[in-house]
Amino acid sequence: MDAVQREEECIMRKPTLIVLLGGIAAMMVAMGIGRFAFTPILPIMMEHHLFSATGAGYLASSNYLGYLLGAFVLTLVQVKNRSMLLFVGLIISIATTWGMGEFHSLELWLLLRFLSGLASAVVFVIASSMIMDRVTSMQAGIFYGGVGAGVFLTGISVPLLAHNGAWIDIWKGLGLISLILGLVSWYGLGGIQKGAKLVSTTNNPTSPAIRRILICLTIAYGLEGLGYIVTGTYLVAYAKSVSSIPNIASLSWMLVGIAAAPSCVIWSMLSSQWGKKWMLTVAMLLQSIGIALPVVSPSKASIFVGAILFGATFMGITMLFVAYAKDIYPQNNRRIIGLLTTSFGLGQIIGPLIAGHLISGNGSYLTALIGAALIVFLGAMSLPLGIGSADRQRLKIAR
């Protein structure tokens, strides 16, 4: 019996609830905290003049470069021991979150954010492949809701941990929270193997209809990554520039998390009724509105509405893309998830770099956020126009 079979038997012996809770905890550690905690802490660090908006863009892009690299590598190799790789990803995510408060150098922060992004991609792809092998589509929605739960947790934790604006305490406090959640994740998803072996994968022949769908999904997901991450990086900093409400940065980020937590379940239900292609289109259209609204009509209300629309869509969109890929490549979902995540990660690198220079150059968030909204809108339109009848052809072939 090889390592993959032993791992699968180990996972299958565990109750679904335990596996699901382990997956949720993994998403909270690597994505909700490791990847997105930077957003609500960003304005506090900028208030201490630790870096400019351009520097913030470099830090964000460094994180997404790591995310891109991790996802890309996972498209080229077959993982023989997913549990051990997941464990390494969790450890790196926890360590880099703590390390952001331990070191006080932009160069070291760039390295830590890069490693954090690398770990995020590993945990996301590996945990997704493990969970998607085991759960129903509704349970998958609950699993991806772990990112929203992590975002909500950071929104609550940041003001509680910030004693007199001490950004160091925030990072270290979140590092300890990540450690606790990491133990929960390992209990739910951990296997019994030692070591990990990587071997090259081979391509499976596919029909033209499936290839067309995959190309369209890859392009659209890349555009989503490019557009959404501008809001994901600068939302709370913009909110603080518009309103003087105490802790509005954390409050707006909490709204993102509250909206995100149940969103995947809701989008899963809607997609079962109307189809993933159309629900992806609707979700991305709503997200583009949520990105543009706060700068088109600056007010506290528009910021809150924008935060809710952003939270209600960003993880639902990811879940729908992954589920769509699983539908067309059921036998090799990890590799396809890695391919989509690579395209997404490439967009994420470009977005903050451009946005950071635009914001630093003219002192306004208007151009950056409107541009991001247009990019997401373009991605939404590319799905029905690009896929066209290919989805119907795929379903006919499947039958």
pLDDT at 100: 94
Residue 259: per-residue pLDDT? 92
Residue 398 CB neighbours (<10 A): 11
Terminus-to-terminus CA distance in the chain, angstroms? 33
What number is the average pLDDT over the span 353-361?
Answer: 78
pTM, entire model: 0.78
The neighbour count for residue 325, using CB atoms within 10 Å, is 26
DSSP annotation string for 117-150 = HHHHHHHHHHHHHHHHTTS-HHHHHHHHHHHHHH
- Under the banding of pLDDT at 50, 70 and 90, the label for residue 4 is low
Greater model confidence, 273 or 52:
273
Dist CA 296 CA 302 (whole Å)? 9
- Rounded Cα gap, residues 393 and 357, in angstroms: 44
What is the residue-averaged pLDDT of the chain?
82
Residue 249: pLDDT band (50, 70, 90) is low
- Total domains in the fold of the chain: 1
In the DSSP assignment, the letter for residue 37 is T
> At 386, which CATH number?
1.20.1250.20
pLDDT score at 276: 87
Q: Which of 279, 284, 287, 283 is nearest to 235 (CA)?
A: 287
What per-residue string of b and e applies to 9-41 under the rule 16 or more CB within 10 Å gives b? eebeebeeeebbbbbbbbbbbbbbbbbbbbbbb
Residue pLDDT, tens place only, 136-149 = 777 888 888 898 89
So what's the pLDDT on residue 36? 85
Q: Are 151 and 33 in contact (CB under 8 A)?
A: no
High-pLDDT (> 90) share of the chain, %: 28
- Per-residue pLDDT band for 195 (boundaries 50, 70, 90) equals very low
Which residue, among 221, 225, 322, 344, has the nearest Cα to 264 in the 3D structure? 322
Please report which confidence band the pLDDT of residue 192 belongs to, taking 50, 70 and 90 as the band edges. very low
**Full domain range(s) for residue 217:** 3-398
Which residues are bridge partners to 199 per DSSP? 78
Residue 200 has pLDDT above 50, yes or no: no
